[in-house]
Structure 1
């Protein structure tokens, strides 16, 4: 048998196979590069849109601060001073970012505070890559906080220690307490057995006393236009982007513990009293326009939490752990219960290092004038 060893054309076949192999690999690499470039461009557009949205929030807050600092209108400042600024931002930055209100009204306002909720949208070449940020701007009247009604020899130095507001029995319709917050319209003022509601947003016009505990669900928006008294604990279940906002225009009293989870916003228009343990979650915002009494202990303040007390703060126990990047600001005087009486909180006392020292003693008490201030923190929510 003969064996044929003719290999003519074998080299050409190998070359063609190698060309085909490298062509396939090259096309694969090219497709991967094109896909990576597309993903990079998409990410770049999204990042740019987010930065533009942040610029819109900061721009509007800067404009609000300039209005608030205007000495010619500080005694007559109202929500009507802000829409024109908002319109100017919308008209002059259509190609980059737009700013609009979250609600139909410009802001919620009392003599003690104003709350403005905005949405800033950063625009991209591809509209599907646009990003939105929701933000809350808080404005407090620092002149509405100081001492009145305190008696005793030490009243000038001690200030006005907040007390639990009495239930207005003279206005109480003699009925059994209503079941939950949804039923409070049947009685004003109202005694409520369970602190729950199916309404969102929820608004209560009159005095409300909850006979049990209150647990605030995620993404809740509650407003109490008078005093709120809670016999038990008060807690929020907010986390991440599921922000809850609780506004109490007058006094806020809690008979039990206070547990504020991440990103929750609480605004108290007058005095605040809590009888149990307190902890504040990451990026929680808690603003008190009057005095504050912590009858047990502030155990923990997580990073980036912002606690602002416009007037005096009274601590039955030393301030607990205030973690890095958290702000615990007392703009009046801080007092600590020592020797069965209130004494100034001194730098040598336990827990003093948790205070923001630059805030202490900066409260303004001038009853003849209003002194509005834009509070720190925006509680930005990225969409």
Structure 2
């Protein structure tokens, strides 16, 4: 009997020990669970305030885009886009106009309630400044999102680049062979100014970081790559073939721009960020796919022809008083002023179909607003 009683005593101790252990584990588990629930509630509240702040960033982008487009059109009525310093002057004036208009609509430290009837979610403009640097508008902002007394501040920057240098068809020489023109140099880097190239330029790259004038004529051009902020060819550019010309702004040819004699293909790619003016004939022919992109309008003093292998995209008007023959693809947002023979595609303002963006690149797109969030502060 003594042995049995001792065994019962040991069993009781063992049971009590197990109960104690399970109780401690249970309490620890419950404490951790309550802590997790509380932590998740805090994170959820922060997430909601972050969402409110991000909503504010989206609101800023839409407002800035609308102000920019409206103010730009107003500025064009005062300063013609054809002026060489248009981009710099526009960036300077529009930075001031956008800052004034934005602060008037969303005053500093005033709450804005984006959801009608819900006062728990608010957006506050903590800072908004707009400055200019050359062709760019630089915006620095700070927006606070609030959800039930929980705040999140997002600091960020927006950039609007007014430069129409969006094609990037010709890379800047790095390093160049020469910094002044010579027929013996393959890659030439120059600033603004005039250069005397003469006829028969072959297999060279001329890259100007400013306004480029080619004292013409510049006939018999073959395998050339020419880039400039603006380009003015003072004379004919006849018998051009296998070349690429890119002007960030306006381009003018004071004469004819035509293929070699006998209707051999011109094989010319042409990218113009401003207006294109040809004070003579403008004939585009090619034995492979080629393109002409013009961000503004085109004026041709004499006859114009678009060959069957050409894709021509023009955002402004096409002025052809002596008419245009269209055998290839013409995509036009403006109007044809003059007679024309052949079909073309009319582009309307608004969201572009994907196939048009593929065919015409960024010809019909407006300057974009790039936004960078560089700091997040929880409160």
Distance 1:14 1:222 in 2: 78
Using the TM superposition, give the Cα deviation of residue 270 of structure 1 relative to its aligned residue in structure 2, in angstroms: 3.4
Cα distance in 2, alignment partners of residues 20 and 294 from structure 1: 82
Partner of 1:354: 345
The alpha-carbon deviation at position 131 of structure 1 amounts to: 0.9
In the alignment, does 2:203 pair up with 1:209?
no
> Unpaired segments of 5 or more residues in structure 2?
1-6, 107-127, 144-153, 165-180, 260-265, 349-362, 371-379
- Higher relative strand content: 2
Provide, for residues 171-209 of structure 1, a one-character-per-residue CA deviation record: whole Å limited to 9, x for no partner.
Answer: xxxx99564655897953634334413542352263362
Equivalent residue number for residue 51 of structure 1: 62
Aligned equivalent of 1:5, options 15, 31, 38: 15
Tell me which residue corresponds to 1:171.
none
CA contact (8 A) 1:57 1:135 kept: no
Three-state SS of the structure 1 residue aligned to 2:304 is strand
- The answer to whether the 8 Å contact 1:270/1:289 transfers is yes
Provide the aligned length of Structure 1 versus Structure 2: 273
1:382 and 2:369 correspond: yes
Give the TM-score of the pair, scaled to structure 2.
0.53
1:17 corresponds in structure 2 to 28
* Paired position in structure 1 for 2:273: 265
Match of 1:368 in 2: none
Q: Secondary structure at the match of 1:269?
A: strand
| Bigger relative CO (Cα 8 Å, ≥ 6 apart) | 1
Q: How far is 1:129 from its partner?
A: 1.3
Output the CA distance in 2 between the equivalents of 1:128 and 1:228. 54
Contact 1:49 1:124 in 2 (8 A): no
In 2, distance between residues paired with 1:258 and 1:68?
32
Counterpart for residue 320 of structure 2: 311
CA offset digits 1:57-101 (Å, max 9, x no partner): 2232232355489xxxxxxxx97xx88975872674473777766
Change in 2 beyond 3 A, CA 1:55/1:313: farther
How far is the alpha carbon of 1:121 from its aligned partner? Answer: 4.3
Q: Distance in 2 between matches of 1:186 and 1:135?
A: 25
Structure 2 equivalent of residue 89 of structure 1: 97
Contact (CA 8 Å) 1:269, 1:290: kept in 2 or not? Answer: yes
Note if contact 1:135-1:379 (Cα within 8 Å) is conserved in structure 2: no
With over 3 angstroms needed to count, the CA separation of the structure-2 counterparts of 1:356 and 1:122, relative to structure 1, is: same
**Which secondary structure does the structure 1 equivalent of 2:161 belong to?**
strand
- Residues of 2 paired with 1:265 and 1:31: CA distance? 51
**Cα separation, 2, equivalents of 1:190 and 1:28:** 76
1:36-47 alignment, distance < 5 Å? 36-37=47-48, 39-41=50-52, 43-47=54-58
Q: Which residue of the partner structure matches residue 300 of structure 2? A: 290
- Residues 91 and 49 of structure 1: CA distance in aligned 2, closer, same or farther (over 3 Å): closer
Q: Distance in 1 between matches of 2:140 and 2:182?
A: 55
SS at match of 2:317: strand
- Of residues 196, 213, 225, the one that matches 1:188 is 196
Asked if 1:125 is matched to 2:142, the reply is: yes
Aligned counterparts of 2:225 and 2:161: Cα–Cα separation in 1: 24
1:380 Cα shift? 0.5
Which is greater in Rg? Answer: 2
- Rounded to whole Å, the distance in 1 between the matches of 2:278 and 2:347 is 21
Change (3 A) 1:310 1:294: same
Work out which of the residue numbers 285, 294, 299 in structure 2 matches 1:276. 285
Partner of 2:71: 60
| Unaligned ranges ≥5, structure 1 | 70-77, 104-117, 138-174, 238-243, 335-344, 346-350, 358-375
**Following TM superposition, by how much is the alpha carbon of 1:309 offset from its aligned partner in structure 2, in angstroms?**
1.1
2-structure distance, mates of 1:307, 1:221: 19
